[in-house]
Structure 1
């Protein structure tokens, strides 16, 4: 009989003790831990490179924490769809949990990650994810017609930029996570699965 799998390491690279990190990074990690109840592995895995840690999370937050334009659920939908295309288990699982919570839908993340075209989405979201997929896989093919289609679907120029920037940023993030072999925290798998909560 095969033995049960052991819990994976957080990264193939060095993971420093939180107590040894600069105070601003300790504070950021403590805030995330207080909000979620655990420390997402990406914070620990990037902590050995403080300048990159700060730059990564500053750009992440600039894209994902806006209150204007795209909804926070739409932003997470882009992450989950493009991360599925890029075969990034960490981002599909982690951002899938956030999408389930923000959309208040326990099924949507799995549907979008596997094949957003088969998910029960309206025309606006399908147009958004079609453009995000183009950015993720064939950015050199983008034309003014693609942007015009999004405008016709009701997106502003700022929202079109955000769709593209989120898909591009997470393309980098997906590759970084896969390169470092960062596994999703077990806690992410069950978040947002119960529609009654």
Structure 2
């Protein structure tokens, strides 16, 4: 049960969807940020950006955000959950590009502290072909997901168990985006 009365059935509105339904005026800019970071046109594919969100959420032990963004990433990556699981289990041996690995290392540093992002991490990402915009967006995705994770867990929201619980929301996000995931009726 959430720490505050969100006025909803938390099983119908798990994780971040409950607090967003509770405060639609704060949900709007948060969803707009997620939409820009994770779905807007970008040189990094949406599946890779979702993978960054899932990776950071996993490192933060945020069950809902990790599970939901793992589902969103898997739905948009050719390798699906196999790749998501490999990245989350062992970044160094996961079958991803050197550029994505370097960006995920930056995201992991941000998850600990923004000050952990070093010139060496940035230089490595650039050497692997990352653009300044991709580095910027990786840092912002990681920072935003630290906030989203703390929002979800700080309110003690419900996280459904099992991948099947996230399949419908993955289809909805992939097809319609983040603004469509919160009903305010």
Shorter-chain TM-score category? 0.7 to 0.9
Q: Which residue of 2 aligns with 1:88?
A: 62
**1:70-109 superposed Cα distances (whole Å, 9 cap, x missing partner):** 1101101101111111111011110111111111323122
Q: Residues 183 and 118 from structure 1, CA distance in 2 versus in 1: closer, same or farther, beyond 3 angstroms?
A: farther
Q: TM-score, normalised by structure 2?
A: 0.77
Q: Which residue of 1 aligns with 2:154?
A: 179
Q: TM-score, normalised by structure 1?
A: 0.73
The gaps in structure 2 that reach 5 residues or longer are 169-185
C-alpha RMSD of the superposition: 2.3
SS of residue paired to 1:46: helix
Distance of 1:80 and 1:116 partners within structure 2: 13
Larger Rg: 1
Matched, 1:122 2:97: yes
1:74 to 42, 48, 52: 48
Q: Which residue of 2 aligns with 1:56?
A: 30
Q: Residues 87 and 180 from structure 1, CA distance in 2 versus in 1: closer, same or farther, beyond 3 angstroms?
A: same
Query: Bigger relative contact order, structure 1 or 2, given CA contacts below 8 A and separation 6+?
Result: 2
**Aligned residue pairs, count:** 163
Any conservation in 2 of the 1:46–1:52 contact (CA below 8 Å)? yes
The gaps in structure 1 that reach 5 residues or longer are 1-8, 19-37, 193-197
SS of residue paired to 1:173: helix
Any conservation in 1 of the 2:52–2:107 contact (CA below 8 Å)? yes
Q: Residues 119 and 182 from structure 1, CA distance in 2 versus in 1: closer, same or farther, beyond 3 angstroms?
A: farther
Matched, 1:12 2:10: no
